[in-house]
Structure 1
Amino acid sequence: MLEFGALFIRSSEIAMLRKLIGCCLVLLAGSSFADEVQVAVAANFAAPMKQIALAFEQTTGHKALLSFGATGKFYAQIKNAAPFDILLAADQTTPTQLAQEQAAVAGSQFTYAIGKLVLWSAAAGLVDAQGAILKHGSFAHLALASPKQAPYGAAALETLTALNLVKELSPKFVQGESIGQTYTFVATGNAELGFVALSQVWENNQIKSGSAWIVPENLYAPLRQDAILLKHGKDNSAALALLAYLKTDAAKNIIRSYGYRF
């Protein structure tokens, strides 16, 4: 026991104080290494990325702050100095262009997923497994994402072009700014059916509700979705860690569970 005036501290209490101080120092050190990363995420990848972000934070301590939208819109925002650290695009072209324009880090680009297009309706039995409703069915509205803003919209237009149905169906088009908005049009019944990302309607290895035709991949260009480190995030440790995490088996298993392939 040590005596300091009227204050008495036992040796066991000193040991406990040292432990508490040590724990505090460890926590402070850990928090100093934790960081945040601002991520622009293509709308089709919203559900898997939310799950990945949670696992990423639990594994690394870093926090991913997610924004969802159309790849084309993100491109415009990034060019106007939006403070994103990473872009998870719905195509390869946009990340490549950003790298060429020196708005992203050359050599950091890679494909994190290959998406699939699906014709979907919230109504059970409306869309047949061959997509014949497009040629023979009766419906007033067909939703698709803007082909100029969203790669899934471009894929939908490619599909209709391959089927020689653009002229016939264009009066029925309802265009969403992103594939997220397009999904909402169909989910709420504002459009009887529409082209959305398979990931938006896929759960437990099947379509989770409604009716759908998974569009054959020979009808549109492969939806290779690339990630890239943006100039704003080149010195952000959390950004580098997230890009590395997207390549892990843990992340890939989540991505596969939403119907994507590699």
Structure 2
Amino acid sequence: MSQQAITGLEAEIARATELFASLSADEWQAQSGCDGWRVQDVAQHMAAVFQQIAAPDTIDAGDSGKAEVAAEVPVQDRKDWSPDQVIVAYDEWSQKGVAALSALQQPPMAETVVPLADLGEHPMHLLGNAIAFDHYCHLRHDIGAAVVRAGALPHDPDVLAPTLEWMLAGLPQMCAAELAGVAAQPVNLVFEGPAANTWCLTPGGGGGGWIVANGADDDAPVVRTTAHDFVSWGTKRADWRDSTTGDVTNPAVAEVLDAINII
């Protein structure tokens, strides 16, 4: 199960709450690392995600079936909110959202596989990991693009480990079309620093897709990075070339890394 995700997420909520309380009027309105979103819009999105989990019938996210399109709906609906309204919503829905996610750690719900639009199909306990990832990325890489102290938040392994688990569970499904067009080259992804671990991305999953498994293939090329940097380049917020080492000059490896774009 993903109880570590709940522990990490609770720590992220505390960090977000403290950060939001400290933001100046100019910082709330600053352009974030998300194209077209202010810092305020990112914070509002983080609150809205919790609301969609805890009480989906109380918030409109459209019916596009696309996670990024759905995320835009409440952001646009609430563009005229004040920062105080965003803070109140985040305080309310973060607590309700964590309670809902905690309940999903218990059987039989925990292993029930559900479709999550274009994010793929996942057991419900991984939703906690998904929101840990969402918070880690938005706080450090998106709000952090405008607010230095957000970018300097800790690289907490209790958040990074479940974040990696979510990203790597989703990678073969979210990147299926891109991976279908690359060389059939297995790649070991070695994560150094906080949440250190090794995973292997291998062609030949069900239906000709790819699989990600914990551990290494001794015959496969190796790419080294940190989990923190992977959150950025694995979502196309940065170029993997700026923060990876190892067999990165191998053209087949480069094709595989270029195909990774996790939502």
Please state which structure has a larger fraction of its residues in helix. Answer: 2
Greater radius of gyration (CA): 1
Q: TM-score, normalised by structure 2?
A: 0.27
Instruction: Report which of the two has the higher share of strand.
Output: 1
TM-score, L = length of structure 1: 0.27
User: Looking at both structures, which has the greater relative contact order when contacts are Cα pairs under 8 Å and sequence separation is at least 6?
Assistant: 1
